[in-house]
Structure 1
Amino acid sequence: MRHSLPIAPQFYVTAPQPCPYIDGRKERKLFTSLQGEFATHLNDSLSKQGFRRSQNVLYRPSCAECAACLSARIRVADFKPNKSQRRVARKNAYLKRDARSPWATEEQFELFRYYLASRHADGGMADMDVFEFAAMIEETPIKTRVIEYTTPDDTPNVDTGLTAVCLTDVLDDGVSMVYSFFDPDLAKNSVGTYIILDHIEIARELGLPYVYLGYWVPNSPKMGYKARFSALEVFKDNEWVNVDDPETFDAETHPLLTDPIAEQVAQIALPDSRVAGPPVSLKE
């Protein structure tokens, strides 16, 4: 009997560089390219194992002396907004959502630059030009949408036009928030929190069980907002575990906690090329 071989991507490791989340630490990433006819299936499979997409690359933290970064996702069926989040939803209810093809626009780039200048002026993306921004949006071999949030012209007391953007991947078991940005002048409205709340609604509309948030670092002020969402779980020790109480999670920075790269790669479950997930549609 003839069988299809499993997909066998090649994995690589980046050179160590300063960690953006924990002072004095070095970050290192395990990564593989995302291309070919099985790109979607590979992305679906590795996303369930803590990987994230950046353009045509899938990556996961693989630091030599630290295991603090944990991939996080929300269980849509179990999520219950708290009082503050319900208030955020009401405050931003005027925003209009549009799901578009992954195509960069000048309006998006202007908002992106304003957001970085206000919130992340010293971050790794601060020097991105329009061509790099277009690559971030457009270079995707899988089902990706740009979710735009606009303020209608008849909305009182706020600037109208493009207000927030989220680059979103559609997986077979959820939506993955690749990168989001918004008008920093509306920070008091907690627009970033609203984008996550709305993605929970998007996943619910599509019948998908998860919203993937990226990485969470316990005790990191930059990541604290993710821990405020109920029904949160993280990928830890090769399985998804509930975060019932974020205070019980510590940033694991002991040098003996990280497995060698060869062992990490050996533990990755690769998809079989014969298997394909059900089609999922996010209308434009």
Structure 2
Amino acid sequence: MTDQAFRFPRFFVTAPAPCPYLPGRTERKVFAELKGHDAGEMNEALGRIGFRRSQNVVYRPNCDFCQACVSLRVLAQRFRPSRSQQRLARRNADLEIHACEPWSTDEQWQLLRRYLAHRHPNGGMASMDSGDFADMVEQSPVDTVVVEYREPSVDGRPGKLVGACLTDKLSDGLSMIYSFYDTGPEARAGLGSYIILDHITRAGAAGLPHVYLGYWIEGCDRMNYKTRYQPAEILLSGQWQPMAPPVPEASAERLAHQGGG
């Protein structure tokens, strides 16, 4: 790839499809292929203007008459966990965490299958097979790891895999591409939140300023969890701007009783 090709990658646009987040709307994506020796630089440059990676492609919403999807990143160096987040971290402090090379395993695949069946049975990934999962993990032209979360080992044997996250390592932070975790009746509560907390902690300890959490949609309940990690920034009109922290439920109730808006 020449310097000119890096500066001006070829972009394509998908056909309209039903929006998975906002009923009654359609979505389109603009995307480009990541390839060549400077794929990492291209991934980072486009990531800072709102693109996300999937295998060897970067994409961004490009919907007609809608700009609801907003990129969000946590400021890892300034992050201070809330009391509930501190309790969550203490409850899961016994988990053994390893950043592994991006090679798919059957154990990871089985965990993902259970996660999708419970959380997203009708989602776009529900029809994945083990080959699709291997492609998702292994087809990365950038610096990627699979962060595994396991129950404590016993007699030298690895503990049960209860969570995993496909994560890109960037010069300015960590980008959480996709996380999945145990959701069964015996599962630990709050594993998904703990995985995000751990990534923020890891970025902070490494001196990295950001953890990229993908897209947030105001008013979409499925996205509300991303606002719990403050301070954060959102990308508006091409500029990263401070995100107003959510009003705690108790405070919102007080405002309502007082006639606040």
Q: Same fold (TM over 0.5)?
A: yes
- How does 1:82-93 map onto structure 2 within 5 Å? 82-93=82-93
Aligned equivalents of 1:137, 1:171: Cα separation in 2: 17
Asked if the contact 2:230–2:245 (Cα under 8 Å) also holds between the matched residues in 1, the reply is: no
8 A contact 2:77–2:207 mirrored in 1? no
Q: Which digits, 9 at most, give the CA deviation of each residue in 1:95-138, with x for residues without a partner?
A: 11100110000000000000000111011100100000000000
Q: Could you tell me how far apart the structure 1 residues matched to 2:35 and 2:246 are?
A: 36
* Residue correspondence of structure 1 range 42-61 to structure 2 within 5 A: 42-61=42-61
Counterpart CA distance in 1 for 2:189 and 2:86 is: 12
Is the contact made by 2:101 and 2:144 (CA closer than 8 Å) also made in structure 1? yes
Moved over 6 A (4+): none
Deviation at 1:187, TM superposition (A): 5.7
Could you tell me which residue of structure 2 aligns to residue 41 of structure 1? Answer: 41
2:177 match = 178
Cα drift, residue 23 of structure 1: 0.5
CA distance in 2, matches of 1:245, 1:205: 23
Which residue in the other structure is 1:201 paired with?
Answer: 201
1:270 matched residue in structure 2:
none
Q: Which residue of 1 aligns with 2:243?
A: 243
Whole-angstrom distance in 2 between the partners of 1:231 and 1:245: 7
Root-mean-square deviation over aligned CA pairs = 1.5
Q: Structure 2 CA distance, aligned partners of 1:22 and 1:210?
A: 28
The Cα offsets for residues 236-266 of structure 1, whole Å up to 9 and x where unpaired, read as 110111112347xxxxxxxxxxxxxxxxxxx
Tell me by how many angstroms 1:207 deviates: 1.4
Percentage of pairs with the same residue: 49
Secondary structure at 1:45 match in 2: helix
Partner Cα separation in structure 1 for residue 66 and residue 25 of structure 2: 8
The 1:15/1:187 distance shift into structure 2, 3 A limit, reads farther
Instruction: Give, as a single letter, the amino acid of the residue that structure 2 aligns with 1:120.
Output: H
Q: Name which structure has the greater RCO, CA cutoff 8 Å, separation 6+.
A: 1
Count of residues in correspondence between the two structures: 240
Which letter does structure 1 place at the counterpart of 2:59? Y
Report what 2:165 is aligned to.
Answer: 166
Instruction: Kindly indicate whether the alpha-carbon contact (under 8 Å) linking 1:91 and 1:189 is maintained by their aligned counterparts in 2.
Output: no
Cα distance in 2 between the residues matched to 1:218 and 1:127? 28
Partner in structure 2 of residue 94 of structure 1: 94
Q: Aligned equivalents of 2:117 and 2:52: distance in 1?
A: 25
8 Å Cα contact 2:165/2:177 also seen in 1: yes
Shift of 1:205: 2.3
SS of 1:135's equivalent? helix
In structure 2, distance between residues paired with 1:106 and 1:76: 32
Matches within 5 A, 1:13-92: 13-92=13-92
Unaligned runs of 5+ in 2: 248-261
d(CA) in 1 for partners of 2:188 and 2:114?
Answer: 16
Q: CA deviation at 1:153?
A: 3.8
Cα distance in 1 between the residues matched to 2:173 and 2:113: 29
2:187 and 2:215 map into 1 onto residues whose CA distance is: 22
> Secondary structure of the residue that 1:141 maps to in structure 2?
coil
CA contact (8 A) 2:28 2:61 kept: yes
CA contact (8 A) 2:31 2:60 kept: yes
How far off is 1:77 after superposition? 1.4
Q: Which amino acid aligns with 2:64?
A: A
List aligned pairs for 1:99-138, cutoff 5 A.
99-138=99-138
